[in-house]
Amino acid sequence: MTDPQNPFEAMMKQAQDMAKSFNPALENFSPKGFETLWPTMPKEVMEMWFGNSVNKDGLDAKTRLLITLAGLTMQGAQADTAVRQTVRHAIEAGARKQEIVETIGQMSVFAGLPAMTRAMDLAKDVMDETEGDET
């Protein structure tokens, strides 16, 4: 008797085989690498769209992005790309790494340690990438 194949693994294998038949280079496709297609918005653009340029007494872009990061952590940090992009944008908007860590850490009280740990791992990946970019 043979072991039955996990349906998810079978589906993924089928998708990989199909992608490879379309283009052999897709055999090594990485969803994380796909993120590089979305550039980080300049701080001024974030302030214009998400910050306090329309609502002068409202939240600035950095604060809005830290709140977004808290919300993504509360959801269990399941959206890897969204967490990493939010961290990138928060750094661009002026958030210090300590503020990012504190935002995620605060969510451990509400979302639990597994969600906090997952978000922290994703944020650390981004912060490690941007470490050389600091002035």
DSSP code string of 73-131: HHTTS--HHHHHHHHHHHHHTT--HHHHHHHHHHTHHHH-HHHHHHHHHHHHHHHHHHG
pLDDT above 60 (res 134): no
CA distance linking residue 120 with residue 114, whole number of Å: 10
Distances (CA, A) of 12 to 5, 15, 119: 11, 5, 25
> How far apart, in whole angstroms, are the C-alpha atoms of residue 54 and residue 25?
45
Q: For all residues of the chain together, what is the average pLDDT?
A: 83
Contact criterion met (CB below 8 Å) for 103 and 69: yes
Match 């052999």 to its residue by tokens: 24
What pLDDT score was predicted for residue 35? 66
Find, among 105, 92, 97, the residue nearest to 62 by Cα.
92
Stretch(es) of the chain classified as CATH 1.20.1290.10:
38-133
Residue 107 has pLDDT above 80, yes or no: yes
Answer with the residue of higher pLDDT: 57 or 124.
Answer: 124
Q: Provide the 8-state DSSP code for 49.
A: H
According to CATH, the topology of domain 38-133 is AhpD-like (1.20.1290)
Instruction: Measure CA 133 to chain center.
Output: 18
pLDDT tens-digit readout, 69-102: 999 999 998 889 899 999 999 999 999 999 999 9
* Residue 51: per-residue pLDDT: 66
Inter-helix orientation angle 80-92/61-74, to 10°: 160
